[in-house]
Structure 1
Amino acid sequence: MTATQTSAIAPVRSPWAQLARIEIRRYLGRPAFLLGLALTYASLLPYLDGDKATDELAMIAPAALVGMVGISVSAHRVWASDRCAEAAGPTPVGQASRTVGHLVACLVPALAGLGFVLVTLVRAQSVSTPRGGYAEMMSDGWVAAVWLALGAVSCLGGPVLGVAVARRTKRAAAPVLATVGLVLAVIVFQGLFEPLRRVRVLLP
């Protein structure tokens, strides 16, 4: 069989799959993501002390440092990709394929958050110190589900929101405003401040 025949029958990857591989590598190389990832896992260092209770507050680190930072990381990544596409001129790869590639790359921070949650769950099960907060009163399955939502889903949702923001506008301040708005919404819906609890009831 000749080389020509071999290349002719080789499987052709779809454009979005090729772009996804490229965007995954780019996401892994983003300094903001790497710094947030390092700080997130560094927050586990106090838990080396077996007497420290594990609670839901541990999930703030991945949600903030990977998830919320991911809004800006994804938005700027989309804009950079669009600039490259515009500079290259007409290409067979459309915006829809590029968007799918960006969304697939959002699995990178999601897996980082999932790893953090799994490490925290293993630690909580391996020490004799009771869990802190509401986790002390709930079942293991309930705690795992809540921690996955707080620490892993947030690491996926932030970057996905960043892609959506970048597709709606090219304003440089948009990711920052989206992050601030998300923080304010979280504060309101947590019900920590009594005057804001009525707002939480009125909003859908």
Structure 2
Amino acid sequence: MTLSETAASISPRSAVARDKLMHTAERLYAEHGFANVSIRKIGEAAGQRNKSVVQYHFSTRDELIHAILARHMAAIEKHRVAMVAALGESGEMSLRDWATCLVLPSIEHHIDVGTPSWYARFLAQAVVEPSLREYTIQAHLNMPSFRRLEELGQPHGRTAEPELSAQRGAMIRQLIVHMSAELEADLADRRADAATAERSWRWLGTNLITAITGLTSALRE
């Protein structure tokens, strides 16, 4: 069952409970790590007296984490779809255009979420957690807008060596995911207001686009 199908099949009361559990889990995982947060602790922090409330709504910890990821990816997808569609209509795509379509949708989402936020730190842990790493990476690579971006072309150049291509992707992923987590943590520590946070996210977006453009150009064969 997909996230949208699940949402359509539950009652409004259950939807509210699921939403609170997801937000609570995202915050606790971001602040304390997956290993240090039990399912029971999530329920307690969400104000639920039923010790099995997380299992009732999500069955397992990983299903809960997948639901959190899916919610954020759906929001990011909305931003990237429009950007990729505009590129397709123009018929031209520079290396910087390609990098912009990779970076800017997630930056816009971080701004939409507001401050304080926890998703960047949550995602940074998911991509290195052994039981979640492959799922998390593939879920992002399989987003329709990302696949469409790849179909439009690869101005960064193709390589005959899959290992080299995978390393390029890993470098780019590390930059986007972990620099976003660094900024999110810094903003949380400084208790930045909305205007300050938005400015910081946009600076990061610009710097990431420039860095990825330069990195990919330097690695082009």
> Normalising to structure 1: TM-score of the pair?
0.44
Of the two structures, which has the highest relative contact order with CA contacts closer than 8 Å and spacing of 6 or more? 1
CA radius of gyration, larger in = 1
